[in-house]
Amino acid sequence: MKGIFLIGEEDFNISTLKTLKYSGINLAYEVDDILGRYCLDYGDEHVFFDVVTDLNDFIEDIGIVPYKNPSIVMMTYTSAELARNILSQNDFPKDIYVDNDLGFIASLKDFIDSGMPMN
């Protein structure tokens, strides 16, 4: 599995992502044994959203984003194509930044415009 980090204002969280309508999904659920994890089950493919509580690894990166109290959610996926489709949904929050964990941090719009480098 691979992952990216979604960075938003302090009110951006798993609850925000739970309200979205995901196309083609079989099931969406909170993972009971992992606090703060939300799963999108597409059958053979899965996407997980996890709350990041320790921001120490992001101290340098946080200076790039325009949020005073950022909130970070890790998006782990089995298919980059599926992850790209989710990020491109009309109802996906537009006011977030994406850290692809490869040294590229950009607003969601710029991330999409750059071809969504995830691998």
**Domain of 65, in residue numbers:** 2-113
Low-confidence ranges of the chain (pLDDT < 50): none
pLDDT confidence of residue 26: 96
Mean pLDDT taken over the chain: 89
**32 located within any domain:** yes
Tell me the pTM: 0.91
User: Residue 69: what pLDDT?
Assistant: 85
Alpha-carbon distance 1 to 80, whole Å?
9
Q: Is 118 within a domain?
A: no
pLDDT tens profile 77-109: 999 999 999 999 999 999 999 998 888 889 999
Residue 89 lies in a domain: yes
Tally of domains within the chain: 1
